[in-house]
Amino acid sequence: MKKFLLFALVLLVGNLTLRAQTPRLDAAAHQRSVAEFQETINKEFKNPKETPLTPAERRAFKTLPFYPTDYAYYVEATFVRDSTSQPFAMETSTSRRPLYRKYGELRFELQGQPQRLSVYQSVDPLKGPDLADYLFLPFADLTNGHGSYGGGRFIDLRIPPAGSTTLLVDFNRAYNPLCAYNHGYSCPVPPAENRLAVAIPAGVRSDH
């Protein structure tokens, strides 16, 4: 996974997070898109150059466990930019404290209830130009430790075009930090403001 070892070591997934905001997919197209995402991440876990798995684990690997794809967890959020946020040291699973700044806030509904999540941008000067418009969405929910990884999950997003006030967020694309598979990694911990009081049974599952 070429971007795996950069700041929290994230998967770059395209399709819904292109530089230009893509239209909302219908249910059938969304199902296909999530299937492609799952196929891609499985291939990366099987690739010895990209996987976080040990050689023995990789040889035995078949597929990651996924929740059933659910269109209800593919949401259009109101995107509120934050131009005043200052860099802060994000907590991780180790003593490492990478610098991020809050780029904005996503406001949406799940299960009939209003929700908010902050999105962050790394201020790492070593990041490549292909990550210049990358946004990091770490979050926790009530499935953590009860079907999904206890340490929370991540979603990758891209900065929408200037003037855009919406952003598509697909929780079916939520994936685990590398720490879920190998404790040798240092992974961001979702900030308190990104801990939701609802269950999100979508995306990658975990027995941990």
**Digits of tens for pLDDT over the chain (208 positions)?**
444 433 333 333 333 333 445 789 999 999 999 999 999 999 999 999 999 999 999 999 999 999 999 999 999 999 999 988 899 999 999 999 999 999 999 999 998 999 999 999 998 755 666 677 899 999 999 999 999 999 999 999 999 998 899 999 999 999 999 999 998 999 999 999 999 999 999 999 996 6
- The whole-number pLDDT of residue 132 equals 78
The alpha carbon of residue 188 and the mean position of all alpha carbons in its chain are separated, in whole angstroms, by 11
The DSSP call for residue 59 is H
Residue 49 exposed, middle or buried by CB count within 10 Å (0-12, 13-18, 19+): exposed
Q: Following CA atoms 14, 97, 127, 202 in sequence, which dihedral angle do they give, to the nearest 10 degrees? A: 0
At 170, the amino acid letter reads: D
Residue 102, domain member (yes or no) = yes
pLDDT for 12 equals: 33
> Does the residue 150 lie in any domain?
yes
How much is the pTM?
0.86
Instruction: Please indicate, yes or no, if residue 44 is contained in any of the structural domains.
Output: yes
Nearest to 91 by CA among 195, 187, 1, 205: 187
DSSP run (H or E) holding 207: none
Identify the domain containing residue 94 by its residue range: 27-194
Please give the pLDDT value at position 21.
58
By DSSP bridging, strand 166-170 and strand 134-139 are: unpaired
Label residues 88-124 b or e (16+ Cβ within 10 Å = b).
Answer: eebebbeeeebbbebbbbbebebeeeebebbbbbbee
The total number of structural domains that make up the chain: 1
E-assigned strand segments in 111-195? 113-122, 134-139, 153-158, 166-170
CA–CA separation, 102 vs 88, rounded Å?
Answer: 9
- Within a domain: 170: yes
